Structure 1
Amino acid sequence: MPTVTSPDGTTIAYDKTGDGPPVVLVDGALCYRAFGPATPLAKQLADRFTVYTYDRRGRGESADTAPYAAEREIEDLEAIIKEAGGTAFVYGISSGAALALEAANHGIGITRLALYEAPYLVDDTGPVEPPDYRERIAEDIAAGRPGDAVKRFMKLVGAPRIAITMMRLMPAWKKLKAVGHTLPYDREILEPGRKREPLPSDRWTSVTMPTLVMDGGKSPEWMRNSQRAVAAVLPEAEYRTLAGQTHMLKAEAVAPVLKEFFAS
């Protein structure tokens, strides 16, 4: 298992497949190499690119170091990019899109940036987050109940109660609980865009590389509003909707779009 070491000493595990210019894939909440969309997408891209997938800190085979800070995750991604040669194309999905955006703003060697549905809240159309959500998640984790944190998160994102109940009976539940303690990490990364108000126009001024901002044609309007808002505040952004897709994006739907964007 190849690894890189982040500046704070945290070991980050990764996989590398394919041949061509380097592309790094950044997962969203509760996902990692063995559980999520990155590995299937890497297989779709490997005929054109050298694709790096990695376990974000605290997930899968990567280590973790307290205290958490979003800056440490940016350093993790930078360590992967340095391993790839110092520059790379980067694609992030969901909270991984928010992480990739913050990392690009720090100037870490991202030459083209693709983002899919960073779940920001930019108006009153989105789901209402309970005012004590972050505190309750932290309490669940501190008490050794990562499963409760996962249930709370799934309820927040709109999963039906019956779906949550059924999920607890499936093999995937063990994998979800194993990374439940990282949910506060995602929430911290998303904080700048979760205020139910227009995105700050001066936050990502260093994101001057070509950027593709995407959403799904079947995603809710609040999510699509958010992506249009992201594209509007970035100087070199293109906004595109992938027909028929939801937040559960299919690798075969996004792979051709990424190939086109990263090759242009």
Structure 2
Amino acid sequence: MPHVMSKDGTSIAYQRAGTGPAVILVGGGLDDGSENAALVPELARHFTVVNYARRGRGDSGDTHPYAVEREIEDINALISEAGGPVHLFGASSGGALALEAAAAGLAIDRIAVYEVPYLIDDEAAQQWSEYVDRLTVALADGHRGDAIALFMRLAGSSGEDIAGARASSFWPGLEALAPTLAYDAACLGDGRPPVARLATITQPALVATGGIPDPHMGGLQPGFFDTVTCQALR
């Protein structure tokens, strides 16, 4: 897997496929680039596709202290590698990062984001604040499994789902990614959409939700992302 060097010296691993205009894929929570991998062969028919592992994930390095600005610099390094400007797609918290990258003025032509988990009401914002506080404590204490359980519970997973995940063969891989949950939390800030920054984005943007409901997110209200998207990004 090739690597590109970010501004702070962090090595970022990526895969490249196809020819044509470049599109960079930005993954979400607990993702090392695998989540967007299924999109690569489809998009590679028409685009040069760059699918990368965000810092702290997969074969990418990690340099402390973390800051959202460093992740934006990672994307900028990939844009330079691709010969920019590029299109940018982000899923979930990766969508929030993609929007932040566009607001920062990177060489981006068009943006597409899927189910960005912004929050629009006080109760949800309070739950988010409590999650971030508990996540910070769990990670500081080295309790990676508890950190993942907190994230899954926030996303609507049941206790049964979490117990099943803990007993599964993929749990150790999730624990390896657990520290990056703090990075996703930083990308989302206080959970509410950063309206002033989003208003500075001038590129065409496709904001999508829907598809087959995730059975492990049954705790969320039906249409959660549709409601959030319509009210937060209109």
Deviations 1:10-39 (A, max 9, x none): 110000011111110000000012xx3211
Name the residue aligned to 1:154: 152
Name the residue aligned to 1:122: 120
Name the residue aligned to 1:247: none
Name the residue aligned to 1:259: none
Instruction: Summarize the alignment of residues 20-39 of structure 1 with structure 2, pairs less than 5 Å apart.
Output: 20-33=20-33, 36-39=34-37
TM-superposed deviation, 1:105:
0.4
Contact residue 213 and residue 230 of structure 1 kept, 8 A? no
1:132 counterpart SS class: helix
Name the residue aligned to 2:98: 100
Instruction: Summarize the alignment of residues 49-68 of structure 1 with structure 2, pairs less than 5 Å apart.
Output: 49-68=47-66
TM-superposed deviation, 1:127:
8.2
Q: Which runs of 5+ in 1 are unaligned?
A: 233-264
Name the residue aligned to 2:207: 213
1:149 counterpart SS class: helix
In structure 2, C-alpha distance between the alignment counterparts of 1:87 and 1:163, rounded to whole Å: 42
- Among 224, 227, 232, the alignment partner of 1:225 is 227
TM-superposed deviation, 1:45:
1.0
Name the residue aligned to 1:17: 17
TM-superposed deviation, 1:171:
1.7
TM-score (norm 1): 0.80
Name the residue aligned to 2:187: 189
Name the residue aligned to 1:203: 197
In structure 1, C-alpha distance between the alignment counterparts of 2:37 and 2:122, rounded to whole Å: 35
In structure 1, C-alpha distance between the alignment counterparts of 2:86 and 2:125, rounded to whole Å: 34
Contact residue 120 and residue 232 of structure 2 kept, 8 A? no
TM-superposed deviation, 1:217:
5.7
TM-superposed deviation, 1:137:
1.1
Deviations 1:96-124 (A, max 9, x none): 00000000001111100001111000125
Deviations 1:63-91 (A, max 9, x none): 11111111111111111111100211110
1:112 counterpart SS class: strand
Q: Which runs of 5+ in 2 are unaligned?
A: 214-221
In structure 1, C-alpha distance between the alignment counterparts of 2:123 and 2:144, rounded to whole Å: 29
Percent identity, aligned pairs only, is 44
1:184 counterpart SS class: helix
Contact residue 126 and residue 222 of structure 1 kept, 8 A? no
2:111 counterpart SS class: strand
In structure 1, C-alpha distance between the alignment counterparts of 2:129 and 2:86, rounded to whole Å: 38
Name the residue aligned to 1:246: none
Contact residue 12 and residue 76 of structure 1 kept, 8 A? yes
TM-score (norm 2): 0.90
Give the number of equivalent residue pairs: 226
